[in-house]
Structure 1
Amino acid sequence: MDFWTHLATNFPPDTANQIRRSLSDERTRGLLINTNKISVREYYSRFPDLTAHPFVSNGFLYDQKTYDFGKLFWHDLGAYYLQEPSAMSVVSFLDIKAGDSLLDLCAAPGGKTMQASLLLGEGGIILANDISHSRALILSSNVERLGLGNVVVTNNDFQTIYRSYLATFDKIILDAPCSGSGMFRKDEKMLKDWSYNKVMACQKKQIELLHIAYLMLKPGGTIAYSTCSFSKEENEDVITCLLSNSDAYLASITGKQGLYSSRHLDGPVYFLPSLFTGEGHFLALIKKPGQLRASQQRNNPYRGKYLALVRQYGLEKRHNLEIDDSLYSLSLPFNIKGLNVLRYGVRCFDEISKHPQPNHHLARFLGATQSLVLDDVSFREYLAGEMLNIEKAPGYHLVSYQGLNAGFVRAVDGKLKNLYPKGLRRR
């Protein structure tokens, strides 16, 4: 069975034909404003040709012919995250509350984690995991770039360790690995690689992941199950399997303008490129019966070797933990036993040649109120990794540009030694 025949078995003829025609249209890009760094109003005043996302208050749609946001310095400094508009919609339906503990099970490259982090604030925590080490590293680098402080990044196969986290999370995001038919307009190679056997192989994995996700969900909690597939086998059939083998039930998705309601289950929706300004996506909200109870977590005072620096940078109220020779700072404590942790909140300080040095992530996490403001020339030199001919008191200093922290420098002999990470430099 080819894809178009398969599509016609999942949707009425008119809808299937509309989807097929829409896949030849130009796609629309999206970006998520990092409201920890810049307000939506300020950003919109700088880029007035943006279109507001219908479901995401800090999300926008844009035409890449007008703006190429991936090449602007704002991207380097973490002012926004580039994200496909349909995928961006998922978190907005999850009703995240301040104080929630959240698991993003298949998180890389991190768009849904970034959005959830901004909604949670300092009162909550996200465990963002990806089974692929290379993809988890990309996830970790995005958490650093945006300066997020409430995210633990891990690289684990949760099918082997989920029993350690039974009934742990208030909300779970499961953006399940899928056959990718909803992304054909973005990547034509995916159409050539599509097969029904691939759909069924993905279904097996999706059923397993959704099962363990449900076991890790607290009573009263919610799972956002999503795919970028048009296939009923990967969407409604996976959910039906869970409903048949547990006490789970589906929640309705409100605000459905431009969305296509599932014909097979009451609640889930499709984001169809023929109806919504985005790529193909499926979303279901799955609930566990019970009353959601807030976790009682307290940060114990830190008394380690980095204490003076913790006080200097105002980190005393956070959960500060030494891992190897580095200090990490998280919004709330989280049990990481058995986890392969790549990032535990903010990586703040590293011991270099027996001396503490502030980490780049700390610069992105902190506000720019006490930073050295760079002019246009000095900023370009900084991004290129060059020494800055600026005299400051000996020691480490934050540098910023247009209200956004760029990183750290170290004042030595009347000059500023550049500490911008080598892998990020632009020449």
Structure 2
Amino acid sequence: MANQNQLKTQVNTRNIALTILQSIFQDQAYTHVAIDHYFKMHKGLSKQDRAFITRLVEGTVEHCITLDYIINQFSKTKTPKMKKIILYILRLAVYQIKYMDKVPISAICNEAVKLTKKRKFHPLSGFVNGVLRTIGRKLDEVVYPKEVHDPIQYLSIMYSFPEWLIRLWLKHYPYDTVKEMCENSNKTVDTTIRCNTTRTTAYALKKELEAENITVEQGYLLDDALHIKDYDHLRAVQAFKEGKFSVQDESSMLVGHLASPKNGQRIMDVCAAPGGKSTHVAELMGNTGQVLARDIYPKKLELLEENVKRLHLKNVEIQAYNALEIDKDMVGQADIVLVDAPCSGLGIIRKKPDIRYNIHEEGIKELVCLQKDILKVVQQYVKPEGILMYSTCTVNPEENQNNVTWFTRNYPFDLVPIQDELPEPLEEDERGMIQLLPGFHHTDGFFIAKLKKRAVDLYE
């Protein structure tokens, strides 16, 4: 009976994974959003089931190019010509065959055939069975590109990155660095959290989480950062419900620390949702002053409001506002303006693996223009001798260093050296900016520049 129940659970979990994959590949839903949405709608899933589904979905998306390459070695019908649902079933199964060696290949094939029939594709069940059993027997015979002969195709197939993206990175970084970025972007990482210092201390929070049998490690760079794993889901963690911490990468937390907000200051976050940086500076000011947290998307603002309430912050004012439109009443009023600009997200692929398939070169060019347009407007809010923090979660210099160079040439701002404020072993570049690469310092890929407005008459 136990084996039958276990098999039933496996069938259900694979079918759930397939449903989530459909929303990711067909509707271009973000992987983490699609998974979280399904779990919210189906709260009866066990911790083990959620963990299996999450790994299966994230792994399949993460290794999609590699999986298709393997499938095409053994299937007469190539992946672009397959029915979508059959392709997704094959991807799920090949991921298990290649990366989950504790699952018997025969069971993987059988479950894939059952899924094919369950989705009303009975005539193709033999095709699915034949392709998967052949791959199971001959996986070690797959011929991969040779790094020495075609390094771009090698990185693309071995690490599942589009070739155009590899070429883009190679324009700006050495080959070995790009290879390590690809490798790090495919690694599973623990959840990084930021202690809400208005409600507890990192030491006390660590002890509280450990009492719930959650594995906790101290942050690598910052004292108020912790890394956690072995928990079911955040909404079930008592300390989370009580607003004692937020999820935020240490790279993103650096923005608040480098901004050095003082109690009572007025801060604007012009692209605020879901609120990591807004709530962080609000905490750093000890619930004093004012943080104007603005964004254009209503659903994201709802999430921001939810986070502010959960964290018991009284100094955050949430506003629906388009960063491209000038608010004349705020000109010259902000001590600090945070500009976490919309970007390509190429630094957070390890957490959002679908990004590598959904972003394109033309889209990046449009983003560069959008970032400049936002800066043109929001720089007006900074007081003379005030601070503008520009950040992105990408590793693309066109969106980062190049934008800052353009900005300082056209507006009365100067880069502020940040080396003395950076935790070891981080180093600013020759101009005073910092570019973190994914995984190199246990962080996401992230860019930060701190700029100070010159003491000029705003109305000259």
The bucket for the TM-score relative to the shorter chain is 0.5 to 0.7
Q: Quick check: 2:185–2:348 contact (8 Å CA) kept in 1?
A: no
Say which of 389, 393, 407 aligns to 1:228: 393
1:77 matches 2:239: no
1:29 matches 2:191: yes
> Partner residue of 1:257?
424
> Partner residue of 2:259?
94
Matches of 1:225 and 1:260, distance apart in 2: 17
> Partner residue of 1:209?
374
Say which of 32, 56, 63 aligns to 2:222: 56
Post-superposition offset of 1:38: 2.2
Matches of 2:315 and 2:403, distance apart in 1: 31
Matches of 1:256 and 1:3, distance apart in 2: 31
Say which of 162, 169, 183 aligns to 2:327: 162
Q: What amino acid maps onto 1:5 in structure 2?
A: R
Post-superposition offset of 1:169: 0.5
Q: What amino acid maps onto 2:193 in structure 1?
A: L
Q: Secondary structure of 2:398's partner? A: helix
Matches of 2:234 and 2:182, distance apart in 1: 29
Over 3 Å counting, the alpha-carbon distance change for 1:43 and 1:272 in structure 2 is: same
Q: What amino acid maps onto 1:239 in structure 2?
A: V
Q: What amino acid maps onto 1:175 in structure 2?
A: D
Matches of 1:228 and 1:122, distance apart in 2: 27
Q: What amino acid maps onto 2:374 in structure 1?
A: L
Post-superposition offset of 1:166: 1.0
Q: What does 1:261-340 align with in structure 2 at a 5 Å threshold?
A: 261-262=428-429, 266-290=431-455
Q: Deviations over 1:383-414 (max 9, x none)?
A: xxxxxxxxxxxxxxxxxxxxxxxxxxxxxxxx
> Partner residue of 1:130?
295
> Partner residue of 2:42?
none
Over 3 Å counting, the alpha-carbon distance change for 1:188 and 1:40 in structure 2 is: closer
Q: Quick check: 2:348–2:438 contact (8 Å CA) kept in 1?
A: no
Matches of 2:334 and 2:221, distance apart in 1: 24
> Partner residue of 2:137?
none
Over 3 Å counting, the alpha-carbon distance change for 1:153 and 1:126 in structure 2 is: same
1:149 matches 2:322: no
Matches of 1:171 and 1:51, distance apart in 2: 32
Matches of 1:238 and 1:175, distance apart in 2: 13
Gaps of 5+ in 1: 292-427
Over 3 Å counting, the alpha-carbon distance change for 1:85 and 1:172 in structure 2 is: same
1:248 matches 2:413: yes
Post-superposition offset of 1:239: 1.0
> Partner residue of 1:363?
none
Post-superposition offset of 1:114: 1.3
Matches of 2:328 and 2:171, distance apart in 1: 38
Q: Deviations over 1:316-349 (max 9, x none)?
A: xxxxxxxxxxxxxxxxxxxxxxxxxxxxxxxxxx
Q: Quick check: 1:259–1:270 contact (8 Å CA) kept in 2?
A: no
Q: Deviations over 1:158-205 (max 9, x none)?
A: 332332211110011111001111111111111001211111111111
> Partner residue of 1:184?
349
Higher relative contact order (CA 8 A, sep 6+): 1
* Aligned residue pair count: 289
Q: Quick check: 2:208–2:239 contact (8 Å CA) kept in 1?
A: no
Q: What amino acid maps onto 2:412 in structure 1?
A: D
Over 3 Å counting, the alpha-carbon distance change for 1:54 and 1:210 in structure 2 is: farther
Matches of 1:84 and 1:7, distance apart in 2: 23
Over 3 Å counting, the alpha-carbon distance change for 1:89 and 1:122 in structure 2 is: closer
> Partner residue of 2:361?
196
> Partner residue of 1:40?
202
Post-superposition offset of 1:288: 0.7
Q: Quick check: 2:336–2:382 contact (8 Å CA) kept in 1?
A: yes
Post-superposition offset of 1:37: 2.2
Q: Deviations over 1:71-128 (max 9, x none)?
A: 3122122121112232122211111111211001111111111111111124311000
Q: Quick check: 1:175–1:227 contact (8 Å CA) kept in 2?
A: yes
Q: Secondary structure of 2:405's partner? A: helix
Q: What amino acid maps onto 1:161 in structure 2?
A: I
Post-superposition offset of 1:50: 2.5
Gaps of 5+ in 2: 1-162
Post-superposition offset of 1:261: 4.2
Over 3 Å counting, the alpha-carbon distance change for 1:134 and 1:274 in structure 2 is: closer
Over 3 Å counting, the alpha-carbon distance change for 1:54 and 1:212 in structure 2 is: farther
Q: Quick check: 1:27–1:278 contact (8 Å CA) kept in 2?
A: no
Q: Deviations over 1:362-381 (max 9, x none)?
A: xxxxxxxxxxxxxxxxxxxx
Q: Secondary structure of 2:325's partner? A: coil
Post-superposition offset of 1:57: 2.9
Q: Secondary structure of 1:15's partner? A: helix
Root-mean-square deviation over aligned CA pairs: 2.1
Q: Deviations over 1:26-81 (max 9, x none)?
A: 2232111222222333212223542332443322122x236754431221221211
> Partner residue of 1:18?
180
Q: Quick check: 1:260–1:271 contact (8 Å CA) kept in 2?
A: no
Which has the larger Rg? 2
Over 3 Å counting, the alpha-carbon distance change for 1:187 and 1:123 in structure 2 is: closer
Q: Quick check: 1:199–1:231 contact (8 Å CA) kept in 2?
A: no
Q: What does 1:395-410 align with in structure 2 at a 5 Å threshold?
A: none
Matches of 1:17 and 1:261, distance apart in 2: 23
% of aligned pairs identical? 25
Q: What amino acid maps onto 2:227 in structure 1?
A: L
